[in-house]
Structures are given as C-alpha cells and as structure tokens.
Homo-oligomer: A and B are copies of this chain.
Amino acid sequence: MDLADAYRDVRAATEALCAPLSPEDCAVQSMQDASPVKWHLAHTSWFFETLVLEGLPGYAAFDPAFRVLFNSYYQSVGEQHPRPERGVLSRPSLDRVLAYRRHVDVAVLRLLDAGAPSTALDVVELGLHHEQQHQELVLTDLKHAFSRNPLRPAYRERAPEAPGRAQPARWIVFDAGLREIGHAGQGFSFDNERPRHRVFVEAFELASRPVTNAEYLDFVRDRGYARPELWLSDGYAACGSRGWRAPLYWEERDGAWSIFTLGGMAPLRPDEPVCHVSHYEADAFARWAGARLPTEAEWECAGEAAPLAGGFVESGRLHPAPSPACERAPSSLFGDVWEWTASAYAPYPGFRPLGGSLGEYNGKFMSGQLVLRGGSCATPRGHIRPSYRNFFPPDARWQFSGIRLARDRR
C-alpha cells in the first residue's frame, strides 16, 4: 500500500477506537502503567511531529509545550511530563488534541506528497507501527480504567458468544536442529527483531492451542495459588503482596465466576483462552500441568510454519475466541491472546539499535522483561508477524496475555 494511504488508514483507525468515548473517558489514568486515551492520541502525533516534522523548513509546532507534555521516554529529545501524572492533564482538551492530530496529519501528508527523503519515509513507517502499538494500549488501558469503576462500564455492546468449542489440546512435535530466527524479509520490522541469526533448538513439543479458562479454573480449584512449590519465588511473593487468587478481571460470587470484558461483565466461558495472566501465573500453571512455557526461539519456529490467522482487532470482538481445531500446525498462534514465553527480552546477537533518538525505542528496555509472541484480539492484523517480539515485566496482567504450553520432547 502507498505510504500516504497507510498513514490515513492507521490514523483513522486510532480515532475510530475513540469514537464511543466521552472526553472524560479519554482523560482517565487508572494506574502508572496505563495512560489516558487522550495521551495516546497526542503522543502518537508527537512521534511524527518530533521525529519527522520538527526542523523541516516551514513547519511550525502546534504547541511548543507539547514537546515535553507528550514525550513518553525519549531522553535525547528532552524532558518528559511525569508518567504517573498523565491523568492530571485535563488540558489540552480532547478537542484540542484532535486538532493537534489534524495539524500533524496535514504536515505529514504534505511531506509525503512532496516526496520525502527515504530516511523520513522510514520514520513515518515506523511511526505507523508505533501508532498501532498504541491502538492496542488504548484498549487495554481503557479496559483497566473501566474495570476500576464499580459501575463497570462497557466500551461497546458485548460480543455474541463465539460459536466454536475448544478441542482437547494435543502436543505438536518439533525436531531438534539449527534454526534461524529473527526478521530477514522485505517488509517492516522493529530493530529488536534483527538480525536474523542461528540458534540451536533441542527437540520440543508445543500445545496445539492456548490454555482455556476451563483448564485454568482447574488450576485455581486445585489450590494453585496457595502451593508455593508451583511458583517462581518472586511470583509466589507477588501472589501474597497483591492478593492474587485468579487472573485479573475474574470475579467469583457464590461459586460462579464472571469476568470483566470490554463489553462489560460476562460469565466465564470455559472454551475461551485464559487471558490477563502474568508471566508468574503462566509459569506456575505450566508447572502444575507438567509442562513449561516455550522459549521465543521455539515459538518462532512454530510461528513461521503457521498461517497468520486468528482473532484480531478488526473482528470487533475485543475478546479472545475459542481456538479452532488444528491440523498440522498449532492453532491460534496469532491473535486472540499474547503468549508468554520463557525468554527474557534481550538483544539478538549482532543487534544494532536505530540511530539517534529512535535508538531509545526498544533497546533500553532490554532488562527485567519477558517476551510475548503472536498478538491478541486487540492487535491490528497487519501489525503482527512471526518474528514480532512484544515484552512486559513478569507481573504485568492488563494486556491480553495468555498461555501456550510446551515441553521437552519425550
């Protein structure tokens, strides 16, 4: 697709996500890890303004104060408004932020139309993938905010129950061998997916589908959260200090479980993939099940062979759906739920961060986080690929994060 068309599409998609929301909804920050929707709208524009437009002849900043206000974490750009205080910003208003978007759109499209140098085109393309990442965060951050409101508001009408039933999980066998992982092709990739490189992978088996709510509920009922031998030490400590007894958004009343969704409260459906679990919970569940989490190399070996199919944001469900029956390749590797891997987020051999401020995009976060793979029901379909590396700390639960089991070849 033409870059200008892609630009228009991505920008419009972001705003479409905000259409059902009031200005007040767009202003809430419910925890330090989450940001207001309005902030996402502004920051994604800041990215283009600061990293593409700034310094171009004839470009005038929309508001010089925004340079600090909507800088997320770019130290090389300058100061940042403190992250925990993003929810304090009633001004600029939502209207003014939307006007900011228009201002930036005009300038970017004019630049594309005029024939920008390839370095600028590369940053515009990066900015679109960046904005798609924030589209997912708009949904997960909003879900968190709504979940903290006792009124339990719905972002949209509850999706009808997906028709399928989850099939019993099977183990798909992968042989040992020297493989290649990482991105190599023509299309876009982030710096953290490169370079493609060799890894030796021992023989392993991967579950045919993600863990379901029914399976996870068995773990809960088997006192999984009270058995330290199943947990990493840090994970068991987190259960204690935060009172975890089930995944985020699960609620029990009189023995019946329901969950909070972007369509409001809903009964727990046994066939859906479990989601909103931390890495600690995924790891403990796997140990309880006599299995383990896959490494990201294992996952990518499977992912390269699988069709890029699954439930994405375009479906409008905004909730994971039961996995279809799988043939040869594991099903639901893409979409529905991000899958925690056992791999720490670290540089690939030969990793080179982008130059300049963009070097801060990924590399400096390679500490204390774990890789997730495959995208979720809140991910745009065009955003994901087998080599895509998402990353969160092991205690993060507000993403659509689920569990795919693996085990050593028997």
Task: Evaluate contact between B69 and A228: CB separation under 8 angstroms.
Answer: no
Task: Evaluate contact between B233 and A73: CB separation under 8 angstroms.
Answer: yes
- The smallest beta-carbon distance between A368 and chain B, in angstroms, is 6
A22–B27 CA distance with the chains assembled, in angstroms = 12
- The smallest beta-carbon distance between A77 and chain B, in angstroms, is 11
A283–B76 CA distance with the chains assembled, in angstroms = 19
A283–B408 CA distance with the chains assembled, in angstroms = 33
16 examples of A-B residue contacts, CB within 8 angstroms:
A23-B24, A24-B26, A24-B94, A29-B87, A30-B88, A178-B200, A198-B200, A199-B200, A202-B349, A234-B368, A235-B367, A280-B367, A295-B349, A342-B347, A344-B344, A368-B394
The 10 closest A-B CB pairs, nearest first, are: A344-B344, A75-B228, A24-B90, A25-B90, A202-B349, A232-B367, A233-B364, A200-B200, A198-B200, A24-B27
Q: Which of A1-43 contact B (CB under 8 A)?
A: 22-30
Given contacts A81-B150, A87-B87, A202-B197, contact A93 B344 (CB under 8 A): no
- Count the copies: 4
Interface string of A207-238 (1 = CB under 8 A from B): 00000000000000000000011011111100
Q: Is A316 an interface residue (CB 8 A)?
A: no
- The smallest beta-carbon distance between A221 and chain B, in angstroms, is 21
User: CB < 8 Å: which of B26, B150, B344, B346 contacts A68?
Assistant: B150
Q: Is A153 an interface residue (CB 8 A)?
A: yes
Q: Which residues of chain B are within 8 angstroms of A202 by Cβ–Cβ distance? A: 197-198, 349-350
- The smallest beta-carbon distance between A285 and chain B, in angstroms, is 15
A343–B235 CA distance with the chains assembled, in angstroms = 20
Task: Evaluate contact between B93 and A24: CB separation under 8 angstroms.
Answer: yes
Q: Which residues of chain B are within 8 angstroms of A145 by Cβ–Cβ distance? A: 88, 90
Task: Evaluate contact between B364 and A231: CB separation under 8 angstroms.
Answer: yes
User: CB < 8 Å: which of B89, B178, B231 contacts A178?
Assistant: B178
Q: Which residues of chain B are within 8 angstroms of A69 by Cβ–Cβ distance? A: 150-151
Chain B, Cβ-Cβ closest to A27? B24
Q: Is A148 an interface residue (CB 8 A)?
A: yes
| A binding-site residues for B, Cβ under 8 Å | 22-30, 65, 68-69, 73, 75-76, 81, 85, 87-94, 145, 148-151, 153, 178, 197-200, 202, 204, 228-229, 231-236, 280, 283, 292, 295, 342-344, 346-347, 349-350, 359-360, 364-368, 394, 408
A24–B81 CA distance with the chains assembled, in angstroms = 18
Task: Evaluate contact between A367 and B197: CB separation under 8 angstroms.
Answer: no
A9–B283 CA distance with the chains assembled, in angstroms = 40
**Most B-side CB within 10 Å, residue of A228, A342, A367:** A367
Given contacts A91-B149, A148-B85, A149-B90, contact A233 B199 (CB under 8 A): no
A235–B23 CA distance with the chains assembled, in angstroms = 36
**Most B-side CB within 10 Å, residue of A73, A76, A87, A368:** A368
User: CB < 8 Å: which of B75, B93, B197, B235 contacts A22?
Assistant: B93
Q: Which residues of chain B are within 8 angstroms of A343 by Cβ–Cβ distance? A: 346
A346–B81 CA distance with the chains assembled, in angstroms = 36
Q: Which residues of chain B are within 8 angstroms of A153 by Cβ–Cβ distance? A: 90-91
A233–B169 CA distance with the chains assembled, in angstroms = 40
User: CB < 8 Å: which of B73, B88, B236, B394 contacts A148?
Assistant: B88
Task: Evaluate contact between A87 and B28: CB separation under 8 angstroms.
Answer: yes
Task: Evaluate contact between B199 and A22: CB separation under 8 angstroms.
Answer: no
- The smallest beta-carbon distance between A81 and chain B, in angstroms, is 6
Q: Which residues of chain B are within 8 angstroms of A359 by Cβ–Cβ distance? A: 229
Task: Evaluate contact between B151 and A28: CB separation under 8 angstroms.
Answer: no
- The smallest beta-carbon distance between A164 and chain B, in angstroms, is 33
Task: Evaluate contact between B232 and A92: CB separation under 8 angstroms.
Answer: no
- The smallest beta-carbon distance between A46 and chain B, in angstroms, is 14
Q: Which residues of chain B are within 8 angstroms of A73 by Cβ–Cβ distance? A: 233
- The smallest beta-carbon distance between A201 and chain B, in angstroms, is 8
Chain B, Cβ-Cβ closest to A95? B22
Given contacts A28-B27, A91-B149, A342-B346, contact A76 B229 (CB under 8 A): yes
